[in-house]
Amino acid sequence: MQLAPPISVLIRCHNEADRIQRSLDAVTGLGREIVVIDSGSTDGTIEIAQAAGARVIQHAWDGFGPQRHFGEDQCVHDWIFYLDADEVPTPELRQEIRELFTQGEPAHAAYEIRNTMVLPGNIRPCLFADFRMVTRLTNRRYARVSLEPSWDRVEVAAGRTTGILLGRQWHYSFRSWHHAISKIDYTAGLAARTQLRKSRWLLRLRLITEYPMEFLKFYFVRRFVFAGWKGLCFSAIQAFSRLVRIKKMLAIKH
């Protein structure tokens, strides 16, 4: 049997018993270890991960960036492939990652992948689905996640480069439409509390422009128009989340 690449697979999770098995199955054999950083699950997530052979470490939640950064420090290998418990790398992406290591050390310090949304109730992305480029395969000697609590931003050392992988990862972000609304409300509040403060007059102006601009971006530019009524709902929820973030920012400033 061919030895797996010298990669630590890192998963950040909290109460994901209903869907982490799918992610664990997808990354088994991709690297030489699976490290799960759990922030207090009580639904069986830990037991499922351990049964799959993962090394589970408990760590209190302190934000997206800090939690992932902590996880990077727990990994045995310098090369780390990161995913959330609601994400599944496709077979094409897994093969592409393995091939990077067939000739020795990969050329870049970090690699971006195409993260593709799967809408609630669907099993795969919609027709012509758009994607977000996210940095998920990194060499921690030269690329580390910042300590920003509201999002994951990878900082690459000066003189080092970032490559792009063609394979996709499917993102089952929302279990249901209710979950979508509650999750977006949380992330909007976190961003409002932790991101740089903007001027009050600019925020008030954005109260008028933010919703229509964001809706048009998601519906047409990001092609959710091809997803039928689900694409319409998703675009509306995403636009609403931006509006909520601005309202929360104004409330904090007040």
The pTM for the full model equals 0.93
Q: What distance in Å separates the CA atoms of residue 92 and residue 111, rounded to the nearest whole number?
A: 15
Q: What distance in Å separates the CA atoms of residue 65 and residue 73, rounded to the nearest whole number?
A: 13
Burial class (CB in 10 A: 0-12, 13-18, 19+), 13: buried
- Domain assignments of the chain as residue spans, ordered by start: 7-171, 177-253
Name the pLDDT band for 248 (thresholds 50, 70, 90).
confident
* 200-232 residues labelled b (16+ CB within 10 A) or e (exposed): eeebeebeeebbeebbeebbeebbbeebeeebe
pLDDT at residue 177 greater than cutoff 70: yes
- pLDDT single digits (tens) 3-19: 899 999 999 999 999 99
pLDDT at residue 254 greater than cutoff 70: no
Contact 181, 237 (CB under 8 A): yes
Is 46 or 204 the better-scoring residue by pLDDT?
Answer: 46
Is 66 or 192 the better-scoring residue by pLDDT?
Answer: 66
Q: What average pLDDT does the segment 129-149 reach?
A: 96
Residue 138 has what pLDDT? 98
pLDDT at residue 216 greater than cutoff 80: yes
DSSP element (H, E) containing 6? none
Residue 249 has what pLDDT? 86
Q: What distance in Å separates the CA atoms of residue 146 and residue 64, rounded to the nearest whole number?
A: 9
Q: CATH top-level class for 7-171?
A: alpha beta
- pLDDT single digits (tens) 80-91: 999 999 999 999
